[in-house]
Structure 1
């Protein structure tokens, strides 16, 4: 496989709004609420990203929907919190939905956030009305390694040690080198890079390791709600492998962007907003 796409797939694992809701410390995320409406949308950002990544998206929907914008603990300046695992974050987002009595809910997730949206819709189908997955796969590592299987006894200590021992300059250079692979819109490189630099290094390392080990393929047949999957333009070259990963998702609509890379909301703005609007507002 082309080394460029291999690196991009790995690195994609890697506060504009004033908070209007102070979330309890039990939740491993902060929440910012914008807009109003009988129906709600929860926006989940990707790895090491701020909820600010949804800024322009929220503007399109806040007049008719109550928008809950998450920033996960330890990412983009948000205070870190243990335990740092994909499954804990999944279950706590579900608890937030139940505790806040959020109904008519649409989940929108980018990258790792798309994985969380899939997992929530599969494990708590009664809570979700629709989901949108923005450039995420059920098993990211399986795209480059068809024999990939999750390790139930995964030890992330070496990766944590490696990331924590990196100097700030080394970490900066590593993250900076990934920007052209993740995003064509150079005007947003510094913003996204800043989110990574503001992230807690232990959280970064543990979630990088844990999400790399995540495989949601066997859960997809439990998703009952309509699902829109938006994928970056380059992924059309891997369409058979992607469709194989998603074969158990019976409710999915799949769309490939016309241009751009992983951060579709910055690289193919008009196409992305049009697809999102058609899906979310359809009844």
Structure 2
């Protein structure tokens, strides 16, 4: 019932706009200091619905949805760079000062990218289970130049039937969240995603390496890391990937998978409010 009320409220009090290229849509809810909310891969801005319900009384929440996800039309090429450029434009057009950014997964990586370029007055960042270089965690002897778009794996994804893709999505949802009630929503978002964006956009993300760029960040950064399967299993990855970030706080969240804001909402919200306030 609460989610239904929030959805109705979002329709009534929010407004949306598209950047010139159509690669992002931004819904704005609430009043106060601005907070840019960047979702993870395949997720629309509504992934932050519960967050907005808690913070929009004192913060102007800007919920981003990327091209190819949710109801935003796909774009032809250069997906990740175009999305980043349009977020730059959105921040510049709104002349934000003391901006806070909350980013989950890919959204957290984008937040680090934005802050590392020091174009804008970004005061605080919360990174929710994200890394500056996802590819390095997944691929031995990682090199961005070695990541290519035309691979047997990518071709197979493009050829999958909806039934096959749905089965894969269900496995992913079970792995990414311990909250069973959220699994269907995650699957629905993945199924709604434009398939080419899913395949080539994720390749864009694997090619992105921001580890050295972190040394340029001057914003306050809090990193929430899912201690899954255990803190000892992930601590080395986070310490290694964020080594160049001069000032940071890493908080390991127990009993949570990738969607920390679903699995441990109260702990996540406590950390977020502490950062924003």
TM-score (norm 1): 0.88
Task: List aligned pairs for 1:138-157, cutoff 5 A.
Answer: 138-145=132-139, 147-151=141-145, 154-157=147-150
User: Could you tell me which of 167, 176, 179 is aligned with 1:173?
Assistant: 167
Contact 1:76 1:194 in 2 (8 A): no
| 2:255 pairs with 1:259 | yes
Match of residue 36, structure 1, among 31, 44, 47: 31
The aligned counterpart of 1:189 is 183
Partner of 1:4: none
The RMSD of aligned alpha carbons is 1.8
Higher relative contact order (CA 8 A, sep 6+): 1
Aligned-pair CA distance for 1:91:
2.1
What does residue range 82-231 of structure 1 map to in structure 2 within 5 Å?
82-145=76-139, 147-151=141-145, 154-158=147-151, 160-231=154-225
- Identify the residue that residue 3 of structure 1 maps to in structure 2: none
The structural deviation recorded for 1:160 is 4.8
User: 1:249: how far off?
Assistant: 0.5
Q: Single out whichever of 245-254 and 157-166 deviates more from structure 2.
A: 157-166
- Asked if the contact 2:19/2:90 (under 8 Å) is kept, the reply is no
Is 1:26 matched up with 2:21? yes
1:246 matched to 2:245? The reply is no
Q: 1:22 Cα deviation (Å)?
A: 2.2
Partners of 2:104 and 2:43 in 1: CA distance = 9
Give the number of equivalent residue pairs.
265
CA distance, structure 1, for counterparts of residue 252 and residue 238 of structure 2: 11
Of stretches 16-25 and 65-74 in structure 1, the one that deviates more from structure 2 is 16-25
Distance (Å, rounded) in 1 between the aligned partners of 2:161 and 2:46: 26
Q: Assess if the C-alpha contact under 8 Å between 2:67 and 2:83 holds in 1.
A: no
1:27 is displaced (CA, Å) by 4.2
Q: Unaligned stretches of 5+ in structure 2?
A: 1-5
Instruction: Find the aligned partners of 1:157 and 1:53 in 2 and give their Cα distance.
Output: 31
